[in-house]
Each structure stands twice: as structure tokens, then as C-alpha cells.
Amino acid sequence: MRLKEEELRFYIPEPTATFFQAPSGIEEQPGVIHIVGVPLDDTVSNRPGTRFAPQTLRQISPYIEYTSTRGNIVPVNKVVRDVGDIVLYQGDIEKNIERISKAVSILVKQNNLKILFIGGEHTITYAILRALKKRTLLIYFDAHLDMRDEWPLGQKLSHATHVRRLVEHEKDNVFVINIGARAYDTEEIEYARTQKNIIILTHSILKEIPPGSVLKIVRSAVREFDPEIVYLSIDVDVLDPSLVATSNPEGGGFSYNDLFTLLSGVVNIVQDKLSMVDVVEYNPLVDPCYATAYNVLRIIVDIIDLLCFNSLS
Ligand SMILES: [Mn+2]
């Protein structure tokens, strides 16, 4: 690897086990997806435990079949490299945001590196995007808007406020699309509706319009905003709580098929500019017998398939 390995390894030590038992490290080949665990769990207001997600998913990952929802068998050894988990200082959110941003800025010195981040709580998205310093379109699947001004009251930066902080900080340099929100309060939805660089496609809107119309909205936002990069974030609580255990579950969510239809459509639209994705908020501590980890791993296999299959065929 051309990166300064020593500099990177201060933040991300070599993993002892790897996702899908794929090789560790960094490989600058087109089509290779680098997995980075970000076990941030500092501001979770309901049920803590997301910090254990990267390790748990890594341990279970060799036992699944790598067949994607599209029916492709993903050659994980060829297309996946596990970089490891960013070491964080439990309980120190400011310091941890800084450490995540620093690790990401070292990684992105390498042009066009494709990275799949595994959270951790959703606040990792804020830390990662702050490091990119590019005109960015953020598309996030989430049961929540994460646009409160403070949550809990008095706390400015948390899993429930990070998208608002991002918009405030990056201003015209960021455009945000939420897909699937079904749990929000008056203050945050009013905020979202009054910002020119935010589109919200709530769960109730999605019930009224077909997936093709949703994708049309995404396509025209991409055309009008013309981002340098697109960043995709999947908060797994967009799925119904019967399908995945999370820190902040909300009833009445997406089926896997609902998610996959929109996810694959979005990736298809933004593919050229998409090099980073995160999957956040899975919580193994509320997942007895790891019954729902397999749905999170399916999301991960599907993303790898969607991101790299074109370059393999
Ligand atoms: Mn979220």
C-alpha cells in the first residue's frame, strides 16, 4: 500500500480476524471494497451497544453464503479488503469525531478508494463527511431524520442531530436526501422542509408514489446539485424492527425487499460518483442469538455486489 501505513495504523490497527475471512489491508485495484469498522457508541440515547457491531458481524460473516439478492455469488476474497476498526476513546465524542475524521482523511489521500464503513452509531456519518471536504450529496436510508437541534436537550452533537450539524457546517457544499423517515418530531420536520438543500422522502410519501418516481426525484437532485461525490448511508433501523435489532427501533418499517428495490435503484443512478457507503446502528447487545445480524450481513453483501459487480463482469 502507498499510504503511510504507520500513520494509518495509529488509528486503525491490523485486524486479527477479517470480514468474510478476506485479506486485510489496502489494495488499490478498481472494484476493491475496503471495510472499515467505526465502533462509535457515545451518544446513543436509548439502547447502547452499537460499538460491538463491527466485531460481531466480522465473526459471523464467514458462515453465510455470499449470494447477493440479485443472485450473484460475490467473490469476497477478490473484492473485499478488511482495513480494521478505528480505535476510539469510549465516552469522548469530540475526541472520537476528530479521530474518525483523521483516519478518514488519511484513507482518502488515496484517490478513488472505495470504502464501506460499518458503525457504530449514526454520528459516524458526520465525522466521515467532515473529513472529505468535497461537494457531497448524502443519501441516507433512515427511520429518523437525525435533524433535531439538540438531543437529549442541551446536547448539540448526537445520533439524533448529526445531519442538521452537517448541513449547518457544510452549507451549500452539501445536499441531503432522506429516504424512509417514519419517526420525527415537529421541530425537525419543519427544519427539514425549510432548507433548500434537503429533500425528505418520508415513509408516508413512499407509500403514495411508486419506486420509479422516487428514483426520478433522486436523479434530478443529482443532476441539479452536481456533486463531486455521493455518499450513501444506511441506518438499518429503516427496516422493520422484526428484521433487525437496533438502538432506536421504530415499528412499521421497510421489508428487506422495499429497501433493496430503492437501494439498488439509487446505486444505479449514482454509481459513477459513489465511492463511500456506511451501514450503521446495528446493535448486537439487543440481538439475542444474533438472529438479525444475518439481515445486516445481507445488506453488506448486497452493497458489495452493487458497488463492484460492474467492474468484475
Ligand atoms: Mn439515523
Domains in the chain (CATH in brackets) are: 5-312 (3.40.800.10)
User: 226 alpha carbon to ligand 1 midpoint, in Å?
Assistant: 25
User: 167 alpha carbon to ligand 1 midpoint, in Å?
Assistant: 15
- CA separation for the pair 281, 50 (Å, rounded): 6
E strand segments, the chain: 33-38, 80-85, 114-119, 136-141, 174-179, 198-201, 229-235, 274-280
User: 81 alpha carbon to ligand 1 midpoint, in Å?
Assistant: 26
User: 162 alpha carbon to ligand 1 midpoint, in Å?
Assistant: 9
Cα 173 from chain centre = 19
Express each pLDDT in 199-234 by its tens digit.
999 999 999 999 999 999 999 999 999 999 999 999
User: 176 alpha carbon to ligand 1 midpoint, in Å?
Assistant: 13
Q: 47-75: b or e for each residue (b if 16 or more CB lie within 10 Å)?
A: ebbbbbbbbbbbebbeeeebebbeebebe
Statement: the pTM of the whole predicted model exceeds 0.85: yes
pLDDT of the residue at 2: 62
User: 13 alpha carbon to ligand 1 midpoint, in Å?
Assistant: 27
User: 234 alpha carbon to ligand 1 midpoint, in Å?
Assistant: 8
pLDDT < 70 regions, the chain: 1-3, 310-313
pLDDT of the residue at 3: 67
User: 147 alpha carbon to ligand 1 midpoint, in Å?
Assistant: 9
pLDDT of the residue at 300: 98
pLDDT of the residue at 313: 41
User: DSSP states of 73-87 as a string?
Assistant: B--HHHHEEEEEE--
